[in-house]
Amino acid sequence: MLKLIGSRLATAVPSLIGVVIVTFMLTRVLPGDTAAYFAGPAATAESIAEIRTKLGLDKPLPAQFVDYVSALAKGDLGSSLSTGQPVAAEISARLPASAELTLAGLVLALAIAVPFGIMAAVKQGSWVDHACRLITTAGVSLPVFFTGLLLVYVFYFKLGWAPAPLGRLDVFFSAPETVTGFYLIDSLIARDFETFRAALAQLAVPAITLAIFALAPIARMTRASMLSVLSSEFVRTARAAGLTDTTVIITYAFRNAMLPVVTTLGMVFSFLLGANVLVEKVFAWPGIGSYAVEALITSDYAPVQGFVLAMAILYVVLNLLIDIAYGIIDPRARSEA
């Protein structure tokens, strides 16, 4: 198992190097002149040139790249031009917010989609199956900003059940002491249940929005892989041996059906990170997605580079986790390592 993790990490190194190069190039070829943008509309040619020199943008590209990489090696991601803050600090403050939202959405989606998919497969053609198809189709068809706004309209504006969609915590509460950066966990560590409740209330609607989006691929994949496993020969053997339906479905079929679902999960997580940008906008969530979009609009290249790098590392970690999960479920994957 350790060997597997080691080899996976080793293969991640070249892709991370690639990401560093590509993001550097991309931010340089993006349309828009950073220096001109920050000099303002009234700036003269001299002041633009001055800013350009200050930023190091007048150097040849290879020299700029060397500067970037050597700074990166020291953990310095540069500073945002619009806020003046170091990018590393801003990302580490905002990443937990995005991660908490995405994970909450994913866990919620899993909790609904997996049992739903199993039931749809076991009772193929029944009302559960049709309901599953209907809900999942609706889930992927509706864009997240639409479901987000709809949920805000219903639960905040009409019913008044949800708090105002303004960030991670109501203004009357102060953020719990940072341990993990996840408010739900940190507030529990601090034994501050009021804050926990408030954070949960803020998180609920955006998490549901993401979950609706993530439901479809997970439920469909669970259903499809359950169907193929249920018709396989070893399930017939288990039935012929008189095992109960619960044992057959959960112990025999579901564990095998889990394998493609786990693979799908990785993809779904990356879709969610993309969908996050819109959800964060709708709910004024102080996450990394909205930060990156703003930086991109203003040609603020340091935060964009930092964002892409953070995402790349996140994917590498995620894929590693999925490979480990695969190894735990499937002994064959373990022995191949």
Partner 1 sequence: MHGIVDVTAQAAKTSEAPSGPLLEVRDLTVEFATRRGVVTAVSQVNLTLAKGETLGIVGESGSGKSVTSYTVMRILDRAGRIAEGSITFSGIDVAHAPESAMRDLRGREMSMIFQNPRAALNPIRTVGRQIGDVLLQHVQADARNVKEKVIDILKQVRIARPEERYHAYPFELSGGMCQRIVIALALACRPQLMIADEPTTGLDVTTQKAVMDLVTELTRERGMSTLLITHDLGLAAAYCDTVMVMEKGRVVETAPAERIFRDPQHPYTRKLMRATPRPGITLKDLLPEEPDVPPAPAENPLPLAGEGRVGAGASTMATVSGAGAVPLLKVENLLKEYPRQGAPSAFLSGLFGKKAPPEERIFRAVDGISFEVKKGESVGLVGESGCGKSTTSTIVMRLIDPTAGKITFDGEDISAIPAKDFAHHPLRGRIQMVFQDPTESLNPRYTAERAIADPLLRMGGMSGGAKLRARVAELAEMVGLPQNLLERFPHQLSGGQKARIGIARAIALDPDLVILDEPTAALDVSVQAVVLNLLEELKQRLGMSYLFVSHDLHVVGLLCDRVIVMRQGRIVEEGSSQQVLDAPKDAYTRELIAAIPHPPV
Asked if 241 interacts with partner 1 (CB under 8 A), we say yes
The residue from 178, 234, 297, 317 that contacts partner 1 (CB under 8 A) is: 234
Least gap, CB of 242 to partner 1 (angstroms): 3
The residue from 238, 277, 282, 311 that contacts partner 1 (CB under 8 A) is: 238
The residue from 30, 71, 255, 313 that contacts partner 1 (CB under 8 A) is: 255
Helix 255-282 and helix 288-297, axial crossing angle in degrees, nearest 10 = 50
The residue from 244, 297, 313, 317 that contacts partner 1 (CB under 8 A) is: 244
Rg (CA), the chain: 24
d(CA 3, CA 337): 7
d(CA 316, CA 94): 19
Asked if 331 interacts with partner 1 (CB under 8 A), we say yes
Closest CB to partner 1 among 321 and 329?
329
The residue from 25, 236, 267, 274 that contacts partner 1 (CB under 8 A) is: 236
Contact region for partner 1 (CB under 8 A) — 24-32, 81-89, 151-159, 250-258? 250-258
d(CA 67, CA 29): 17
Binding mask 114-133 for partner 1 (x = CB under 8 A): ----------x---------
Name residues contacting partner 1, limited to 259-318 (CB under 8 A). Answer: none
Contact region for partner 1 (CB under 8 A) — 7-15, 27-35, 262-270, 329-337? 329-337
Asked if 174 interacts with partner 1 (CB under 8 A), we say no
What Cα–Cα distance (Å) separates residue 154 from each residue in 148, 157, 164, 214, 308?
A: 10, 6, 12, 21, 35
d(CA 272, CA 331): 30
Residues 6 or more apart from 238 whose CB is under 8 A from it?
247, 248, 252
Asked if 2 interacts with partner 1 (CB under 8 A), we say no
- Of the candidates 21, 26, 8, which has an alpha carbon nearest to the alpha carbon of residue 72? 21
Closest CB to partner 1 among 85 and 124?
124
Asked if 85 interacts with partner 1 (CB under 8 A), we say no
For CA atoms 79, 80, 81, 85, give the dihedral sign: negative
Where does this chain bind partner 1 (CB under 8 A)?
A: 124, 231-234, 236-244, 247, 251-252, 255-256, 329-332, 335-336
